[in-house]
Structure 1
């Protein structure tokens, strides 16, 4: 069994059926959800960006870490069971294993995005509209400044 799944085993499980939203983009995101079983889709701005079926996948971590509303929607594609962590910041602060697991998931996503953007840049080298790709790659490599209130 995935060690992270053992870490979240004590947290309450929730079940969803096909079509249920686990998270909705733009809503307040106060819980961290860990996929225990089933298939979900991640939707951002009405575009399906991922289908996930791997136990131990986490939803709500970006909002938690960025301190804002849900950045995407997560919808069940069939029967789904998740562990829901109601005090996620306390959970991450108390568990180095959980924090490392989430850091590794985020690192894999950033790596995949970097490889994709570099591939796009190579494919369209010499086209004027690729300044955006440079800006995205630059933003991925540097910590963004906090917005002034």
Structure 2
């Protein structure tokens, strides 16, 4: 019935992928969304919430809620930036830096598993195509 529906098929795939990455990040006490967000913060070492929301293609409100969760877990701290009291930067804590390599490894293992299942070329082509479609729709 939905063989030609981009929405249905990408959403179905997203649910399957969510289960895979949920299992990978569970040992860290993180959801996939939190883990990917933390990986960006760790990579940048300092980023504003606005830039983070752009990087992850999510709303500022969604970003703010996820950042609050990472702060509560002790992985991120907010530091005021500039003279504007509302402006702040996000920085990884020592706790976050301690799991950085393991977090990347866990994500990499899921990627390897999926590449084994569908093939490396199919994986790379699919990711490339999805990124191009997403860029075109914006």
Which TM class, normalised by the smaller chain length?
Answer: 0.3 to 0.5
TM-score, normalization by structure 1 = 0.32
Query: Which structure is higher in RCO with an 8 Å CA cutoff and minimum separation 6?
Result: 1
TM-score, normalization by structure 2 = 0.33
